[in-house]
Structure 1
Amino acid sequence: MKSYLAKEKEVERKWYVIDAEDKVLGRLASEVASILRGKKKPIYTPNVDTGDYVIVINADKIRLTGKKWEQKQHVYHTGYPGGRREVSYKEILEKHPERIVQYAVKGMMPKNSLGRRMLRKLKVYAGSEHMHEAQTPETYEF
């Protein structure tokens, strides 16, 4: 029996809404990354984007365990000499709460052009409102 290899044009994509309120960040991010990659589908092919779109709402109400709000740091580099910066997750929550979920999901995606393309299907919003009602998204529970 031959193995089935999915083709990009044959994939049917769905839209899912996930409410992040009182969900632990890592568990939420791993579930979202799995949906974005398409690992929940029987047609999953590692080198083809078979995933679905994911809308995460209430990203400002995400939960971190322990003392991670004060101790966990997001580290990045500006590209200039001596440009290493560290920002605590508490500061990120105040300014851009949707980025917390984006950083966590990005870390669980493949580090190549396919992973970057899959990450474009992630839409994160701090509040409970989103602008994708026209796509008729389904609520996703886990």
Structure 2
Amino acid sequence: MNHTYIPSGKYQERSWFIVDANDQTLGRLSTQIANLIQGKHQNAYTPGFDSKVHVIVINAEKVRLTGKKLTQKFYYNHTGKPGELKTRSLSVLLEKFPSRVIELAVKRMLPNGFAKTELPKRLKVYAGENHPHQAQKPKQMIFSI
């Protein structure tokens, strides 16, 4: 009879990665970040278990978009009251909150359950180059375009 190996999370250390979003395509970057947060890069990856991976994204304002997404892509927010549907285009959201664009793209690429609720808290996105996480000694992660 075969036995299934279930890794114990108590011996696993937290790992921090830093990703530069400068001149990266939004969709391709967010899929790679979502896979990184889930721990799919580890050789002992097990779905449903905590990978203890944190990701820092810098230069969110310099992310690249393809096609006419700046004018044709919209983000919707509804308060629950009739007539209060708020619509913002991607260009407006990039001007005001460039970090929110990457946060929403990554969150929407995660599977439902634990990953959808807990893993986005481990994503730190900053519009510029500066971030307050130097003490964690993040490793540079370079994604190919």
Structure 2 unaligned blocks of 5 or more: none
The residue number in structure 2 matching 1:122 is 123
The residue number in structure 2 matching 1:108 is 109
Partner SS for 2:118 = helix
Contact kept in structure 1, 2:38 and 2:115, CA below 8 Å: no
Alignment of 1:36-75 (within 5 A): 36-75=37-76
Matched, 1:137 2:134: no
Q: What is the CA-CA distance between 1:10 and the residue it aligns to?
A: 2.9
Q: Deviations over 1:79-104 (max 9, x none)?
A: 22222221101000111100010010
Q: Once the two structures are aligned, what percentage of the paired residues are identical?
A: 44
Amino acid at match of 1:5: I
Alpha-carbon distance in 1 for matches of 2:124, 2:40: 19
CA RMSD of aligned residues (A): 1.3
Structure 1 segments of 4+ aligned residues over 6 angstroms from their partners = none
Amino acid at match of 1:86: T
Q: How many aligned positions are there?
A: 142
Alpha-carbon distance in 2 for matches of 1:51, 1:42: 14
Contact kept in structure 2, 1:13 and 1:52, CA below 8 Å: yes
TM-score w.r.t. the length of structure 2 is: 0.92
TM-score w.r.t. the length of structure 1 is: 0.93
